[in-house]
Amino acid sequence: MFNSISLKYDLINQMMTFNMDKKWRQIVFKIAIKDDPKNIIDIATGTGDIALCFAQENLQVVGIDNASQMLDIARQKSVKFENIQFQMEDAEEMSFEDNLFDVATVGFGVRNFENLHQGLLEIKRVLKPGKKLVILETAVPSFFLFRLGYFIYTKLFIPLIGKIFANNQKAYNYLSSSAEQFPHGRKFQLILEEAGFENVSIKILSLGIVNIYSATKPQ
Ligand SMILES: C[S@@+](CC[C@H](N)C(=O)[O-])C[C@H]1O[C@@H](n2cnc3c(N)ncnc32)[C@H](O)[C@@H]1O
């Protein structure tokens, strides 16, 4: 599905979020660099925007995804950087050795994993002990008026944009319904804890339409 929307993915993201997606990714980046990481992985990197935040600051980063055409776009956007590498990998079964990375980021990726628990265990495996996972993911606002607006927006506007600009209403129907159904807030915190992460914190952004979760692999 992501291969089929890869060419229009960035444009539609900007339109759907009124360009707020850039700001959200920058916040992920700022949280991720707090502990001065040297070896960084951006999982489900897609067209590479989170990975590019690190590369632009001269940090070494690898972006992985299982959609080759998303990675093609990521590579085109990053030709001038030598410190960024994109690799075709399944997040649920990566080829990296244990305890390799100083930080892992995932932007709008975990809700697309086939087996979320397995994906989180795998991320924990490749992280060094004591290091952080930072996840940017959709959420549903808790205040009822915002929630009402959110549902109107995701049920009508997003599929319409997908139909007009990506010629793929089905993909954008999926993206909005998965956003609606995906566990967020305290529920997702419990999922992270079940996978063995600790010190989970949640940052609620943009009236509650997205959250950033930070969690640590135990020492
Ligand atoms: C909504 S896009 C997010 C892309 C990017 N991280 C961003 O912030 O825009 C989700 C990405 O997750 C990737 N993905 C889904 N499941 C995956 C898996 N098991 N392994 C690797 N990538 C996966 C998809 O191919 C897609 O590129």
- Testing ligand 1's pocket by substitution, the residue of 10, 108, 178 carrying the most ligand atoms inside 8 A of its CB is 108
pLDDT of residue 1: 87
Cα–Cα distance, 215 to 213 (Å, whole number): 7
pLDDT of residue 77: 97
pLDDT of residue 188: 98
In the reported structure, the alpha carbon of residue 145 is separated from the centroid of ligand 1 by a whole-number distance in angstroms of 30
pLDDT of residue 35: 94
> Which atom of ligand 1 is found nearest the CA of 67?
25
Sorted by where each begins, the domain ranges of the chain are 2-141+182-216
Cα–Cα distance, 211 to 138 (Å, whole number): 6
Query: Which positions of the chain have pLDDT values less than 70?
Result: none
Cβ–Cβ under 8 Å, residues 135 and 41 = no
> Which atom of ligand 1 is found nearest the CA of 136?
8
pLDDT of residue 178: 82
> What class has domain 2-141+182-216?
alpha beta
> Which atom of ligand 1 is found nearest the CA of 91?
20
- Testing ligand 1's pocket by substitution, the residue of 22, 45, 118, 136 carrying the most ligand atoms inside 8 A of its CB is 45
Ligand 1 contact via 65 beta carbon (within 6 Å):
yes
pTM for the complete prediction? 0.94
Q: Whose CA is nearest to atom 26 of ligand 1?
A: 46
